[in-house]
Structure 1
């Protein structure tokens, strides 16, 4: 479960962002700006990130506040799962990343798998939509929904990308160090259940 201070900071930022989007009253604008500044100060006091960076990445959005979407491609081959090693932390993850505007979830999965692993894939089905706050990920400033989309290889070959340094397939009992920010061991275990039972129902939350 999320740390309380992080939950409060996210909620304060969302309220401020949405309020600034719709209010016309100058006094309300001032109050929402103060609320946004308080959310920045909470993040700044409980993390090692500078106020300037927090303001740019955490409290710079406009419009109605909504969760961010992280999409991961799930590819099995010979009872092994495809993982890529992230350059940022040297750990392994399902290929994927933030959803881009203008692309469908399936298109994002195909695009990210190609860019990070070199494989050409075709989407097969949605396996799970998870709220990141319910899972054992490190604290982060965003509210994130994670989409896991099963794909099949139709071409290409294992090739590292700009953000990856290795590509490989792993059995469930031989997983490497996982990038906890991107996926957890429990999530990978759950995905292997779909390999054993292709008719398993989609998982929500």
Structure 2
């Protein structure tokens, strides 16, 4: 099944959740429940993932689905190399970052993730881009995701692996390692270099 239909099923599931939260007519509630169950069954078959594992990821209990937010830190060194970490989850490489946490601003998340994943202290200084993951030629995911890219100035030079990473390093623009595509792709990193060279000024958004 194409990415288009995968996203449509997720959207239909979200609408069913909203209907279940705000509708009090028993007939309608039963139909929304049936729609939601059909969506879960289709997602199970498409992804070969048990429904029990899908529900905690895609369902919210406040009745109104909103996108999850992923923050990525952009850190360069004096040689114009970009900082990447090798994820333990798939052994592929990504910009330091992750889901936003309650009580943390996007800048604080970027700084925290750099310290936890790459052992480096940084200061978030500039918003570079806000991207809709669905519009960025990235693999389909259960979550609907907004990605925030923040430029960070390094305050220390040492780097080291963290609990979720198995390697960390600096890479040239044209010598990137195999990337963790659910987290970032080459086009996104190329865009960050355009900001570095001054070819882009204003923040990008979808």
Q: Does TM, normalized by the shorter one, top 0.5?
A: yes
Aligned residues: 204
Could you say what secondary structure the match of 2:128 adopts? Answer: strand
Contact kept in structure 2, 1:40 and 1:59, CA below 8 Å: no
What's 1:108 paired with?
Answer: 109
What's 1:193 paired with?
Answer: 194
Q: Distance in 1 between matches of 2:137 and 2:4?
A: 15
Gaps (5+ residues) in structure 2?
Answer: none
Q: Distance in 2 between matches of 1:92 and 1:140?
A: 18
Alignment RMSD, CA only? 1.5
Deviates more, 1:22-31 or 1:123-132: 22-31
Could you say what secondary structure the match of 1:129 adopts? Answer: strand
Contact kept in structure 1, 2:130 and 2:205, CA below 8 Å: yes
Gaps (5+ residues) in structure 1?
Answer: none
Q: Distance in 1 between matches of 2:84 and 2:198?
A: 21
Contact kept in structure 2, 1:36 and 1:59, CA below 8 Å: no
Could you say what secondary structure the match of 1:97 adopts? Answer: strand
Contact kept in structure 1, 2:194 and 2:200, CA below 8 Å: no
Could you say what secondary structure the match of 1:174 adopts? Answer: coil
Could you say what secondary structure the match of 2:193 adopts? Answer: helix
Q: Distance in 1 between matches of 2:147 and 2:102?
A: 16
What's 2:59 paired with?
Answer: 59
Q: 1:61 to 1:185 in 2, by over 3 A?
A: farther
